[in-house]
Amino acid sequence: MSAVVPLDAEKLRRRALDIAGEVPDPEIPVLSIADLGVLRDARVTADGAVEVDITPTYSGCPAMDMIALQVEAALAAADLPKPKVRTVLSPAWTTDWMSEAGREKLRRYGIAPPTPRAGRRALFGLDEDVPCPRCGSGETQKLSEFGSTACKALWRCTACREPFDYFKCL
């Protein structure tokens, strides 16, 4: 018996957002795609299908296909009608969309969160101040602008001597 309760479109849309928002990021599973700001919107189309919009962090983010698949599966498991995922590029994702809760989860996970509203720093020279996510010390150094994934840089703490990932500002 799969008679769909006649929710109105707005309720259905909110439910789709709630369910999709729970899907974890495949590369940083401590964050949901809602925390990351990757989940952008949802709507109920004229033919009654539920459509969810996601946006990539970086153009070449290899996690996008996986995220789309997981969102579709989660919506289908919740019996939402004809779930579909759309990838949108505009407006371009920015680290400013990451939620406060997301930043805190990231730090506890051992990844330094992006500095909010850091803006574009000078093309050459100036480095950001990135506190160590483990001991909180400001005595840190950048090892490489490019880390284990497109969205992270590699840093180290000279106080506790631990290397750590820094979620790059974009």
What's at 99, amino acid-wise?
A: S
Identity of the residue, 70 or 95, whose beta carbon is nearer to another protein in the bound complex: 95
Count of chain residues binding another protein (CB under 8 A): 26
Identity of the residue, 29 or 119, whose beta carbon is nearer to another protein in the bound complex: 119
Shortest Å distance, C-beta 153 to another protein: 9
For residue 92, give every residue at least 6 positions away whose Cβ sits within 8 Å of its Cβ, in sequence order, or none.
55
Say whether residue 66 binds another protein (CB under 8 A).
no
Shortest Å distance, C-beta 146 to another protein: 4
Identity of the residue, 74 or 93, whose beta carbon is nearer to another protein in the bound complex: 93
Identity of the residue, 16 or 85, whose beta carbon is nearer to another protein in the bound complex: 85
| Cβ contact 38:54 at 8 Å | yes
Say whether residue 147 binds another protein (CB under 8 A).
yes
Residues 86-145 touching another protein, rule: CB under 8 A, are 88-93, 120, 123-124, 143-145
Sheet arrangement for strand 39-44: 39-44, 50-54, 84-87
d(CA 126, CA 82): 49
> Minimal CA–CA distance to 83: which of 92, 74, 91?
74
